[in-house]
Amino acid sequence: MAIVELISNHLEIITVGVVSAVAYYGIRGEKSSSEKAVKVLTKAKKSGMDTPFTLHPEIDPKKCLGCGSCTRVCPEGDILRLVDHLSTLVSPTKCVGHGECADACPAGAITLVFGTKKVGLDMPRLTPNYETNVSGVYIVGELGGMGLIRNAVKQGKVAGEHAVKHIASGGGQTQTDVVIIGAGPAGLAASLAAIKAGKRYI
């Protein structure tokens, strides 16, 4: 009975002790993880592998909550890691542009971009429908730097649906309504959008 009474009298102290221990080991583990991430990033910089080749996440440090959601969802592994409580691109050359990190970010701190400050990339401006600054010309799939099948299909579908909605009416002077260049996932998705809309395409 004395033990039960002793525990109940000191329950607050025991609770504080347990919570403190959990917090200590959690912070220590987080610090260790951050140190490992810095080592990976330093190694990438030394070997010249710190510039991404394709579409990659750009993190806004002012918006990043440091929750780590983005670090857990990448199918490619440790591309993003938390460094000093901020998401950081530590293995840029391994990124293939899935975009799972941007979808998982609750704060909208991640934008998928092409090129870097070191290496610019000449890309035409694209609308959300993948139409370039030349009206009626769309860039999707591998040509747009997003070679992943899922992304290419999505882009081809969006571009194809937008294109067939904006075909000039009347005239009928051509044999085709839409010209689709490429028969990869994006081209096939755009072709299916044309078929669904009953448009002539090649």
Q: For 148-193, what is each residue's pLDDT tens digit?
A: 788 889 999 999 999 999 886 655 677 888 999 988 999 999 999 9
Asked whether 52 and 116 are in contact (CB, 8 A), the reply is yes
SS3 147: coil
SS3 180: coil
Q: How far is CA 96 from CA 53, 55, 131, 155, 173, in A?
A: 8, 7, 23, 16, 43
- Together in a domain, 72 and 157: no
| Domain-located, residue 123 | no
Determine the angle formed by the axes of helices 11-46 and 2-9, rounding to 10 degrees.
60
**Secondary-structure breakdown of the chain: helix, strand, coil percentages, each rounded to the nearest 5:** 45, 10, 45
Reply yes or no on whether the pLDDT at 126 is more than 90. Answer: no
| Domain-located, residue 94 | yes
| Domain-located, residue 36 | yes
Q: Residue 190 burial (CB < 10 Å; 0-12/13-18/19+)?
A: buried
Asked whether 114 and 145 are in contact (CB, 8 A), the reply is yes
Question: Rounded to whole angstroms, how far apart are CA atoms 39 and 30?
Answer: 14
Q: What is the pLDDT of residues 50-87, one digit of tens each?
A: 666 677 889 999 999 999 999 999 888 888 888 888 99
| Domain-located, residue 167 | yes
Tell me which of 45 and 61 has the higher pLDDT. 61
| Domain around 175 | 141-196
Reply yes or no on whether the pLDDT at 24 is more than 60. Answer: no
Look up residue 151 and give its amino acid: N
Domains held by the chain: number: 2
Taking phi first (over 0 means left), then psi (-120 to 50 degrees means alpha), and beta for anything else, what does residue 191 get? alpha
- Together in a domain, 14 and 88: yes
Question: Rounded to whole angstroms, how far apart are CA atoms 188 and 182?
Answer: 8
Asked whether 69 and 119 are in contact (CB, 8 A), the reply is no
Q: What is the pLDDT of residues 77-124, one digit of tens each?
A: 888 888 888 998 888 888 888 889 999 999 999 988 876 655 555 667
Q: What is the mean pLDDT of residues 134-159?
A: 84
SS3 88: strand
- Together in a domain, 27 and 66: yes
